[in-house]
Amino acid sequence: MFSSLPEGALLKLSHHCRTVNLKNDETLFHQGNDAHSFYVVLSGNVKLFRVSPDGQAKVIEMIKPGDAFAEALMFMEQHRYPLNAAAMGKTEVLVIPNQFYKEILLAEPQCGLRLMGNMAVKLHRRINEIETLTLQNTRHRLGNYLFGLAPDPAAKSCIFRLPMAKQLIASQLGMQPETFSRLIKEMKGVGIIEVNGAEISVNDMQALREFGH
């Protein structure tokens, strides 16, 4: 979002940006709010989610430090946020006004081309997520998700921490928390993983990969 901007443009933009510090579960914006800005997570995490009519939260995405979100809305006719955004733990977010960013793009067309490439990458990511949710069963989704958290996919074993609460992961993967717990128990039972709170110890990366296929 910023690496292709010339130094003068970055300096000008910085005068219009601000940071927001959020507490755990504090809302950044609600679905339907006016989309006047986009955001970059500086520290902590932000969850994007919808709330169903029966009050159930469906996590769409977790935004990690360094990632931008809500930037596509500045190029759409829809000028309202389609999702809710809330902090996961203590979080700091950079707020960038759409108006001033678009003015820079109009003055620096080459920056717009780089941004289009970023949008294309996100689009392909969404297509892969849709494929995962529609074509894979719950075993495949969870197995692939855990395998994707491994620091080194080529390692024989590893240890990592789950990035968010287990019920939120279940929501993002389109399964009930009970199903998530049952599959975790199944993997523990055959010795693929060990669980200590949010810490996952993978004893056999190949077996975990096969569980996801």
Q: Please list the pLDDT of the chain residue by residue as tens digits (213 residues).
A: 777 777 888 888 889 999 999 999 999 999 999 999 999 999 999 999 998 777 777 888 889 899 999 988 888 877 899 999 999 999 999 999 998 888 888 887 777 777 777 777 777 776 766 665 565 688 888 988 898 899 988 889 999 999 888 888 888 888 888 999 999 999 999 999 999 999 999 999 999 988 866
Q: What are phi and psi of 18, to 5 degrees?
A: -150, 165
Residues 102 and 192 in one domain: no
Contact 100, 18 (CB under 8 A): no
Q: Find the domain containing 51 and state its range.
A: 7-134
pLDDT of residue 103: 86
Give the separation between CA 211 and CA 48, rounded to whole angstroms: 28
| Total number of domains constituting the chain | 2
pLDDT of residue 167: 85
Q: Can you give the CATH number for the domain in which 206 is found?
A: 1.10.10.10
Domain end, chosen from 114, 134, 154, is at 134
Q: Are residues 142 and 122 in the same domain?
A: no
The pLDDT value given to residue 55: 77
Cα 67–Cα 118–Cα 149 angle in degrees, nearest 5: 45
The two beta strands, 27-29 and 84-97, are antiparallel
- pTM given for the model: 0.67
pLDDT recorded at residue 138: 86
CATH number of the domain within which 114 lies: 2.60.120.10
Indicate if 67 and 165 belong to the same structural domain. no
Q: Which two tokens stand for residue 29?
A: 């914006």
* Neighbouring residues of 79: CB distance < 8 A, sequence distance ≥ 6: 34, 35, 36, 73
